[in-house]
Amino acid sequence: MIPTANRRIAPWLIAGGLLVGVSACSGADPDGSSVDAPSQERPAASASPSGGAESTSPGDPDGAPPSPTVTTTVATGLTSPWGITFLPDGSALVSERDTALVKRVGAGGSTRTVGKVPGVDTTSTAEGGLLGIALHPAYPAQPYLYAYLTAADANQIVRMTYRDGRLGSPTTILGGIPRAEYHNGGRLGFGPDGMLYATTGDATDGDSSGDPMSLGGKILRITPGGEPARGNPDPDSPVYSSGHRNGQGIAWDHGDRLWQAEFGQDQWDELNLIRPGGDYGWPECEGACGEPGLVDPQEQWSTAEASPSGIAFADGAVWMAALRGERLWRIPVSGGRVAAEPTAFLSGEYGRLRTVAAAPDGSLWVSTSNTDGRGAPAPGDDRILRLTPD
């Protein structure tokens, strides 16, 4: 799906990698892409970079899919919501990046705090804090909530009990993940195999992404206890794939294939199909470059139209929340490939979109991120929207 004209080798290869890791010093967006000034107004819809026109009205005569319907605003008044994980009753636990609070949001809109995670550094990084969360797939028999957080000296993955509506104390199950002001990664998700996956950022050190001894710029795969999972490329390492700049979205399709969304630097954001041991190119390549030994993305966008964070799979498509792009992308996939042109919805209607999560009832929950210091909060922000895919 990527036009040939978009395939390129990153220009800093000519300089022997001298520009790697300077993005944070040259005005990098705290969400990982190029400079993203705070929004002043909602932008008008524009064409998809891969050629597909955006659609926000149902039943387009050219065969474009109808819009997902925003059926309700589930919650308002949240502060930089980041992670969403669903409980068996259809309610969700939501992490707030900048407060370190975990809140329970009912399907009907009730919201209450269930705990504050100690040890979270919410002040010395632009995008660190309490990030992704994931509930143990055997909950409530295994009553654990997992969280990816920024501590004083590193990012880490912790486990806490969640019983009777209360959050227990955290235990670190994996530490030593590089942290910085920017590019901390942070998404968690349990795969169909029961293992816990985590996206990590390069912490503004691009060389770490290809370094097998560093946990930066990777997708990690560990057991629920924090050990390297059986079947990893290196049985003694939690590293599952490498060469990532700042991934913040992971999701599995109906074929149990793993997809990942990733921030580019100045030109190309990516949607990747992940295979174990794959090297996804950073810092040698931003977007597709056709280099032997490197895995090209399945789709790419300009950073102005994406800057993607969370993704979810539903209705035969990967749904991707865009921060700087202020829209929700629908990317049809089939057989491990992008099957049709991506289509954008909600363009500029709700501002920055951080997370999209597939709810047990088949709906999508989408969180805004307008109170994160980069957006223009509207009354009621931040909020969680409930959408029904058609």
Taking residues 251-266, what's their average pLDDT? 97
Residue 45 has pLDDT above 60, yes or no: no
According to the model, what pLDDT value does residue 64 have?
55
Residue 222 has pLDDT above 70, yes or no: yes
- pLDDT tens-digit series, residues 368-378: 999 999 999 99
Residue 6 has pLDDT above 60, yes or no: no
According to the model, what pLDDT value does residue 308 have?
98
Task: Tell me the pTM.
Answer: 0.87
User: pLDDT grade, residue 389 (50/70/90)?
Assistant: confident
Residue 66 has pLDDT above 90, yes or no: no
Q: In the chain, count of helices (H) and strands (E)?
A: 0, 26
Phi first, then psi: give them for residue 303, nearest 5 degrees: -65, -25
For residue 307, the SS3 value is coil
Q: Which of 35-44, 255-264, 313-322 has the lowest mean pLDDT?
A: 35-44
Residue 44 has pLDDT above 90, yes or no: no
**Which tokens go with 42?**
């909602």
User: pLDDT grade, residue 62 (50/70/90)?
Assistant: very low
- pLDDT tens-digit series, residues 81-100: 999 999 999 999 999 999 99
According to the model, what pLDDT value does residue 124 have?
87
Residue 58 has pLDDT above 60, yes or no: no
User: pLDDT grade, residue 32 (50/70/90)?
Assistant: low
- pLDDT tens-digit series, residues 108-119: 889 999 999 999
* Torsion over CA: 110, 120, 194, 138 (sign): negative
pLDDT above 70 covers a percentage of the chain that reads 83
CA distance 174 to 218: 14
- How much helix, strand and coil, in percent to the nearest 5, is found in the chain? 5, 35, 60
Taking residues 213-232, what's their average pLDDT? 98
Residue 143 has pLDDT above 60, yes or no: yes
Indicate the residue type of 344.
Answer: A
According to the model, what pLDDT value does residue 68 have?
81
Taking residues 289-303, what's their average pLDDT? 97
Q: Which residue has the higher pLDDT, 18 or 288?
A: 288
- Residue partners of 38: CB distance under 8 A and separation at least 6: 373, 374, 375, 376
Residue 26 has pLDDT above 90, yes or no: no
What CATH number was assigned to the domain covering residues 28-388? 2.120.10.30
Question: Residue 246 carries which DSSP code?
Answer: B
What's the CA angle centered on 261, arms 258 and 267, to 5 degrees? 145
**Which tokens go with 212?**
């097998």
Residue 180 has pLDDT above 50, yes or no: yes
According to the model, what pLDDT value does residue 22 have?
30
